[in-house]
Amino acid sequence: MIKNIAFKLKDSFYYKNLERILEDCSTVLDVGCGSNSPILNIRRPFYSEGIDIFSKSIEESKKKKIHDKYKIGDVLKLEDYYKKKSFD
């Protein structure tokens, strides 16, 4: 029980910190977003786009409506998909 509480507090700190880091962003690119991005658990006043090479992960993320837009692609080749400084 105590271990579960410790994990929840740790998670809570993580999400609050992530939210604080992104609070001044108007656009966010989630590289390797997968199907369960941590962005799901924070306030999202910003536009976000997720990119992942696995189409199944993208489809699952779409169902959860985590991001505004998605792209299937290799995160090692971001320059093929996006212009520099396209996201905050």
For residue 46, count CB atoms less than 10 angstroms from its CB and return exposed for 0-12, middle for 13-18, buried for 19 or more.
Answer: middle
> Other C-beta atoms within 10 Å of 61: how many?
22
For residue 58, count CB atoms less than 10 angstroms from its CB and return exposed for 0-12, middle for 13-18, buried for 19 or more.
Answer: buried
Check whether 2 has a pLDDT greater than 90: no
Per-residue confidence (pLDDT) for residue 87, from 0 to 100: 97
Check whether 88 has a pLDDT greater than 90: yes
Contact 50, 82 (CB under 8 A): no
Check whether 47 has a pLDDT greater than 60: yes
11 pLDDT band, cuts 50/70/90, is confident
pTM, full prediction: 0.84
